Amino acid sequence: MSESDDVIQIEKMSADQFAGAVVLILGAIGSLLLVVWQSKCHCKVNLCYICQCERRPPNQDEMKGLKDQAKKLNKKEDNDNKILKKEEEILAPEVEVQTPREDTPRLIPKTSKEIAEEEEKEKIIDEKLKELI
């Protein structure tokens, strides 16, 4: 084996392939950081001494504040639900008015069964008319 056989050769990449690889790597790193930040454990992240971050779980005072915020959001959602219910009550009569009546012409095609029934009715009517004449 020569030296050229031992070395792994990589084909040249186009710019869009390189961009895709960079996005893939950054997405993986970002998702890992997201999992770490959303965890409730104490952690430190050191990115080559360029960026150092530390996350600590919230203390009791912060937890009380978060509970209060959650209660406010629930009250707001309840008010939103009340508004939606009132809006539905207001729009209900409009829906009743907009429903088509049976005497309006149909715009959808009839099925073969409906066509056959109409032909039978027409034959019966024709027979009765012939009897009268």
The percent helix, strand, coil of the chain (3-state, each to 5) is 65, 10, 25
> C-alpha angle with apex 17: 16 to 21, nearest 5 degrees?
115
Handedness of CA 122, 124, 126, 129 (dihedral sign): negative
Distance, in Å, from the CA atom of 123 to the CA atom of 129, rounded to the nearest integer, reads: 10
pTM of the model: 0.33
Tokens 């952690």 — which residue?
43
What confidence tens digit (pLDDT) does each residue in 26-56 have?
A: 999 989 878 877 777 777 777 777 777 777 7
Residues 94-109 have a mean pLDDT of 62
Tokens 């209060």 — which residue?
68
pLDDT for residue 4: 57
**pLDDT above 80 (res 63):** no
For the ranges 62-66, 68-72, 94-98, 102-106, the maximum mean pLDDT occurs at 68-72
Average pLDDT across the chain, whole number? 79
Q: 36 and 45 in contact (C-beta within 8 Å)?
A: yes
